[in-house]
Amino acid sequence: MIRGVIFDIDNTLTDFMRTKRAAVDAAVEMMIDAGLEADKETMKEKIMDLYFAEGVEDQRIFDKILKKELGRIDMRILAAGIVGYRRAKHGTFALYPHVSPVLFELRKMGIKMIVLSDAPKLEVWLRIVGLGLHHHFEDIITSEDSGARKPDPRPFRAAMKVLGTTPAETLMVGDWPERDIVGAKKLGIKAAWAKYGDTFGTEPGKSGADYELDDIGQLPGIIRKENGC
């Protein structure tokens, strides 16, 4: 009987990489307009590569890229990049299709929900509140709470403690097999892979999850089936 669902957020509820790419695109455009001499497409690629190397939550990525490219930080260009990034980020931050109705439906079914992320806690709250999702979730658990990142069992245990569920009563939904799915399965939590959010090129059938989702809209049906109703 599934009574609680743990959701990853980035690339599971929100189309995070699309937002990131749109924000980087706008940032580079603004930096070039402010005087940066660079080819737009090449610069965008360099920034995305740096994000993948340094972590997608790196807050000083433009400082780093300017230092690397110019050997110094030009404040006019840096500010232009940050402004372009922020504007585009706020305008493009979006949920995957059907996320909102699914969360309403699960709540109606009496399912308790929580967000489990390795991103900085305030950043996660800002995303959740910004998208108007904060009333759906009991809480948000990050590595700041449990002292460990997925797939370590600690953050999963912390999430279940808030939900008041056992592993058998919990379902994990996430896009990252090595973290979200492996972490859940270690504790005997059922897992659904958000295949629609895949950015790692995981092959269908190889996620290790109990369910693979082409669309998050499949989730209520899966839970009904699990619960025999």
Positions in the binding site for Mg ion (CB under 5 A): 8, 10-11, 175-176
47 is written with which tokens? Answer: 């920034």
What angle, 0 to 180 degrees and rounded to 10, lies between the N-to-C axes of helices 40-54 and 61-70?
Answer: 120
Shortest reach from residue 75's CB to Mg ion, in Å? 34
Of the pair 16, 85, the CB lying nearest Mg ion is at 16
Query: Which CB atom, from 85 or from 176, has the smaller least distance to Mg ion?
Result: 176
The partner residues of 113 in beta bridges, in order of sequence, read 5
DSSP 148: S
Cβ of residue 94: shortest distance to Mg ion, in angstroms? 15
Instruction: Give the integer Cα–Cα distance in Å for 57 and 152.
Output: 20
Q: Rounded distance, CA 208 to CA 141, Å?
A: 23
Instruction: Decide: 171 and 178 in contact? Cβ < 8 Å.
Output: no
Output 65 or 192, the one with its CB closest to Mg ion: 192
Residue 136 or 150: which CB sits closer to Mg ion? 150
Take residue 176 and report the two structure tokens written for it: 């990252």
Instruction: Report how far residue 168's alpha carbon sits from residue 86's, in angstroms, rounded to the nearest whole number.
Output: 41
What's the closest the beta carbon of residue 210 comes to Mg ion, in angstroms? 18
Shorter beta-carbon distance to Mg ion: residue 41 or 57: 57
Q: For the CB of residue 150, give the shortest distance to Mg ion in the complex, in Å.
A: 9
Comparison of 11 and 165: residue with beta carbon closer to Mg ion:
11
The sign of the dihedral angle between the CA atoms of 114, 118, 122, 125 is: negative
Q: Amino acid identity of 163?
A: L
> Minimum CB separation from Mg ion for residue 218, in Å?
18
DSSP structural state of residue 95: B
CB of 56 to Mg ion, least distance (A): 10
